[in-house]
């Protein structure tokens, strides 16, 4: 760290966010010999989405063997699909093992990150003061800012109300009339957990999701021992899971291929729900994969219980404790749980990142995020965005994290080696890249599957998904190609930070 007489701290790199992306960045920086960095975490502990979400039944929908760093396998996973507490503990154990904690500044929320051409650095304003850096890695992730629906009267609800990602463990749901708004990835996990407790459960389903069986089971101690003493066995399992997800990801390129997968989901509905009317309500009218594919063995049986009503429509108004659906039907509730998800099409950090012209990233995008290789954005030199535009895939987040970090760390190593002051994407290449992305997306199930999903932004553009295989992603991000970027070699690390 360098400081001037004004005592404004200056670092080579600042990482923003203490989830798996930020932790991975810190580990890889250290392994690359770059130690002049800090990680800003807004909370008092690391954890990201796995710290924020503590709702009943919270678990991963990617097998644990693949939902972990490839360089840090965990032989002691208790289940095929690990739960929230276990995943959070894995993250924190990894941070300790790789001695990342000395670099972490807890309770430091990044309020604004602005690139200054005058000072040739990032100016990060936090709730604890200002910090400067040559490079910034925005590793906040897309799934931590909850979406609150704009429903008339919702704020004046006379009972208890909370979002699933801000679960109120102090609210006892026993024998209460509970309404759940939304039927996405969180709801299908917590609804089966609370259904036996409540007096009555009303589930407002704006659009049904396709749900596949979940191949979950405990991992016995014998398997854990095998993974511990013969690590290659867990590597084989990881590779097998990766192959399955990659096959599914490839199938998403074709509606015809996904209709074959859809047969499994249709059979799953028939097995879990016998009532024809309820079956009709929960059966989507679009091709599987158009929206995020969910997995559960308990969802449909829970909806079929006598104390559950499924409303095939959105919540349109709240009057006191009365909830009115879009079809005019009304229900009484003591508690409302918002299972309305997160803002995915546009990273929330984009509202806090400002380019060289003082424009926010979200303001420039105008609802349609755009970048280069999902990692850098125009007019934001030396700024790297984890989970940026068009980088999402139907696989483990760790595939994206490790591919992007390979790219970013290579960029930093080349910058240091070649005395490069600034790196930024070429606007011409950005335009060409995004044209190729959008052309490739046109025939995929995400665009042509017949639904409106969070993959599609407010302007009707798919700003979220990587349209090719993860093999191609990893190949494209395997090396940072300086010739594709605008660079300034006139380095002056003792940047004026006054």
Per-residue pLDDT tens for 342-375? 877 678 899 999 999 999 999 999 999 999 999 9
Separation between Cα atoms, residue 403 and residue 389, nearest integer Å: 15
The whole-chain average pLDDT of the chain stands at 94
Tell me how crowded residue 276 is: count the other CB atoms within 10 A of its CB.
Answer: 8
Beta-strand ranges (E) seen in 365-471 are 383-385, 422-425
What average pLDDT score do residues 134-152 get?
A: 88
- Pick 10-46+100-145+344-489's CATH classification: 3.30.360.10, 2.60.40.10, 3.50.50.60, 3.30.1280.10: 3.50.50.60
**Distances, alpha carbon 171 to alpha carbons 198, 336, 441, in Å:** 12, 11, 44
Q: How does residue 5 score in pLDDT terms, banded at 50, 70 and 90?
A: very low
C-alpha to C-alpha distance for 191 and 176, rounded to whole angstroms? 14
Domain boundaries, the chain: 10-46+100-145+344-489, 160-238+256-267+289-338
The answer to whether residues 216 and 191 touch, using CB atoms and an 8 Å cutoff, is no
pLDDT of 6 above 80: no
Question: Do 160-238+256-267+289-338 and 10-46+100-145+344-489 fall under one CATH topology?
Answer: yes
In this prediction, residues 175-185 reach a mean pLDDT of 97
The CATH fold assigned to 160-238+256-267+289-338 is FAD/NAD(P)-binding domain (3.50.50)
How much is the average pLDDT of 58-85?
97
% pLDDT > 90, the chain: 88
- State residue 145's pLDDT score: 77
369 three-state secondary structure: coil
Looking at residues 311-327, what average pLDDT do you find? 95
Q: Judge whether residue 13 has pLDDT over 90.
A: yes
Tokens of 145: 């800012």
pLDDT at residue 492 above 60? no
Query: Is residue 496 predicted with pLDDT exceeding 80?
Result: no
pLDDT of residue 497: 39
C-alpha dihedral sign at 386, 391, 392, 394: negative
pLDDT tens string 250-307: 888 888 889 999 999 999 999 999 999 999 999 999 999 999 999 999 999 999 999 9
What is the average per-residue pLDDT within 189-209?
97
């Amino acid at each position: 760290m360098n400081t001037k007489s004004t005592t404004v701290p200056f670092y080579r790199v600042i990482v923003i966010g203490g989830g798996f992306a930020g932790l991975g960045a810190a580990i890889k920086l250290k392994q690359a010999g770059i130690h002049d960095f800090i990680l800003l975490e807004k909370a008092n502990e690391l954890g990201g989405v796995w710290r924020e979400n503590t709702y009943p039944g919270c678990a991963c929908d990617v097998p644990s063997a693949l939902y972990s760093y490839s360089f840090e396998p965990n032989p002691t996973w208790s289940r095929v699909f690990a739960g929230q507490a276990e995943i959070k503990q894995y993250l924190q154990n990894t941070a300790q093992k790789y001695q990342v904690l000395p670099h972490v500044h807890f309770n430091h929320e990044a309020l604004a990150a602005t690139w200054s051409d005058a000072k040739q650095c990032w100016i990060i304003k936090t709730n604890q003061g200002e910090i400067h850096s040559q490079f910034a890695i925005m590793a906040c992730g897309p799934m931590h800012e909850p979406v609150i629906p704009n429903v008339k009267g919702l704020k004046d609800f006379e009972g208890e109300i909370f979002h699933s990602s801000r679960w109120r463990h102090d609210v006892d749901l026993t024998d209460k009339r509970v309404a759940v708004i939304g039927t996405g990835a969180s709801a299908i996990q917590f609804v089966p957990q609370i259904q036996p407790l409540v007096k009555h459960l009303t589930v407002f389903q704006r659009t049904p999701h396709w749900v596949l069986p979940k191949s979950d089971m405990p991992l016995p101690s014998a398997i854990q021992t095998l993974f511990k003493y013969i690590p290659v066995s867990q590597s084989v399992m990881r590779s097998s899971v990766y192959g399955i997800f990659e096959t599914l990801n490839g199938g998403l390129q074709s509606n015809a291929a996904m209709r074959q997968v859809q047969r499994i989901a249709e059979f799953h509905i028939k097995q879990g729900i016998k009532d024809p009317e309820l079956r009709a309500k929960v059966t989507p009218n679009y091709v599987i994969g158009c929206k995020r594919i969910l997995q559960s063995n308990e969802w449909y049986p829970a909806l079929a219980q006598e104390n559950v009503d499924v409303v095939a429509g959105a919540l349109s108004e709240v009057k006191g404790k009365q909830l009115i659906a879009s079809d005019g039907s009304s229900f009484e509730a003591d508690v409302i749980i918002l299972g309305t998800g997160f803002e995915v099409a546009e990273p929330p950090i984009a509202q806090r990142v400002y380019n060289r012209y003082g424009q926010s990233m979200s303001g420039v995008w105008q609802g349609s995020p755009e970048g280069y290789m999902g990692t850098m954005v125009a007019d934001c030199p030396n700024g790297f965005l984890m989970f940026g535009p068009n980088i999402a895939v139907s696989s483990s987040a760790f595939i994206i994290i490790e591919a992007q970090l390979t790219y970013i760390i290579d960029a930093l190593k080349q910058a240091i080696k070649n005395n490069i002051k600034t790196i930024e994407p070429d606007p011409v290449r950005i335009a060409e890249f995004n044209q190729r992305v959008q052309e490739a997306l046109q025939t995929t199930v995400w665009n042509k599957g017949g639904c409106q999903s969070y993959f599609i932004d407010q302007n009707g553009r798919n700003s979220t998904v990587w349209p090719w295989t993860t093999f191609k992603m990893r190949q494209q991000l395997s090396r940072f190609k300086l010739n594709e970027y605008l660079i300034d070699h006139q380095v002056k690390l003792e940047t004026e930070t006054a």
